[in-house]
Amino acid sequence: MPSLQTFIDDKLVHGRAHFSRDEALAALGLKPEALAAAITRLVRKRRLANPRHGFYLILRPEDKVAGAPDPVRWIDPLMKHQGLDYRISLLRAAAFHGSSHQAAMVFQVVVPKQLRHFEIGRHRLQFVYQAPEAFGSVNQPDLLDQMKSDTGFAKVAGVELTLLDCARYFHKAAGINAVAQVAKDIGAKANPRRLAKAAAAYENSSVRRLGYLLDQAGHERQAKALEPFVRQAKTAVPLDPSVKPLIESLAGTHEQDAKWKLVINEPVEIDS
């Protein structure tokens, strides 16, 4: 009967740096209590890490400094273990598509279920909830890309979804100015038809914010594709809802952008 150590060594030989509790039980023939004790010993020795219940990462020597491999190497098998579809998005996806201004300090994943964030070693994973119906309508092959690692591929938002996700969840994407920078950096790569199609699943105010930012960045074709959404809007909304006026009476003094039905309550600053 192989030991747990032999089991994980064999996984590494075959290019897999992860396994599930059920998989180990079936392969080793151990009782659950004995397997749990063996896993605990290897976790203490920093040979294993446990990002989610029943799912384990095998740490190679080069992983020990960071405490775990880059999540792009194991997010796909983790989400399959949890039975959930997903996409890497926001700033990590923006960097993947060529936005070099923003450092992705958090590994952000959009999912159709409320999941708890966690840290593993030096890595912080944040799960961003999108309502299942909207998620299902946009998390489709023509709107996704693949992020390659030495262990395989992970799903990543395509340019269009990256822009829309950043505009919708701007407070998780380092704020409206960071989103404006992303729009400038990668907006020209967005396919206008796909952008408009995907935008139908997002809040109208988020789509208008993105249209304004694309306009400001000079990406006219992409911005024009979002103009029809303005006709569905009944009232103007703030460009940056997180900014509150110091004096309530000043709330109506900001510039109004009639084209996008936005109150420009925050100046947009973009690096050249």
pLDDT at position 254 is 65
pLDDT at position 243 is 74
* Strand ranges (E), the chain: 18-20, 48-52, 55-58, 87-88, 107-111, 118-120, 123-129, 144-149, 152-157, 237-238, 255-257, 262-264
Q: How far apart are CA 94 and CA 103, in angstroms?
A: 10
pLDDT at position 102 is 59
Q: Note the helical H segments in 45-158.
A: 75-81, 90-96, 132-138
Token pair belonging to 63: 């992983």
Given a cut of 70, the residues of the chain with pLDDT beneath it are 1, 101-104, 244-254, 272
pLDDT at position 250 is 46
Is there a contact between 154 and 75 (Cβ–Cβ < 8 Å)? yes
pTM (2 d.p.): 0.90
pLDDT at position 1 is 60
The class that CATH gives domain 4-67 is mainly alpha
Token pair belonging to 23: 């998989």
Cα 176–chain centre separation: 17
Q: How far apart are CA 216 and CA 132, in angstroms?
A: 32
**Taking the domains of the chain in order of start, what are their residue ranges?**
4-67, 72-264
pLDDT at position 258 is 87
> Are β-strands 118-120 and 144-149 bridged in parallel, bridged antiparallel, or unpaired?
unpaired
